[in-house]
Amino acid sequence: MAHPDDVDFGAAGTIAHWTDKGIEVVYCLVTDGDAGGFDPEIPRSAIAGIRRSEQAEAARQVGVTDLRFLGYPDGRLLPTLELRRDISRVIRQVRPQRVICQCPERNFARIYASHPDHLAAGEATLCAVYPDARNPFTFTELVEQEGLEAWSVQDVWMMGGPKPHHPVDITDQVERKIAALLCHQSQHPDPAQMETRVRAWGAMNAEQFGLGPGRAAEAFQVIDTR
């Protein structure tokens, strides 16, 4: 994910569902979100540390304790070879079956999902999944200097894009999703409004995919990368 809180907006309910089943989840945050916040009284130099702490607490709400921060600058992210290498490194370290990422395709119906950093993180992650992490002859320093052998991810779940087709019913996890988002205190001047908006998104997704009234869902575009 590009920023702290991105994963909580797009996938915290799904992640809570997985961790409840005993599935291990690891977060990789590309930036520290140091361009975020709303309070001018907080020194800019303090924001990165605050946001890392908030993300760690939010992760605990949904059963995640392993977080990897790459430390790229917020608001200036590009899908560079360096970023592709660094995401490939995490993939080779963790050796996941599945990767959730942001969609690199701009969604004009939900422009906030298409922050330039989100697009860049999504593009770099897809490149890291295929071909970089699985190709032993790409970023050979990862093998030669760090002993990280190539690894093939089985599938990618993209969030925030214009073509979601796979819903996950998070009705039983929505309170934990809200709890995770409320951990990001530096980002929410009006927590009640944020909660209302997130509940509305969940209900809209559930309605779109015919899950029935009173349900909540997150939605993804799933890609088989085997």
pLDDT digits (tens, 9 = 90+) for 92-145: 999 999 999 999 999 898 888 899 999 999 999 999 999 999 999 999 999 999
Q: What is the pLDDT of residue 112?
A: 85
- Sequence-distant (6+) residues with CB within 8 A of 202 are 13, 170, 174, 177, 216, 217, 218
- Sequence-distant (6+) residues with CB within 8 A of 33 are 3, 4, 5, 47, 48, 51, 74, 187
The pLDDT of 29-34, averaged and rounded, is 97
Q: What is the pLDDT of residue 17?
A: 97
Percentage of the chain exceeding pLDDT 90: 97
Percentage of the chain exceeding pLDDT 70: 100
Domains of the chain from N-terminus onward: 6-224 (3.40.50.10320)
CA–CA separation, 13 and 16 (whole Å): 5
The pLDDT of 61-87, averaged and rounded, is 98
Its pTM stands at 0.96
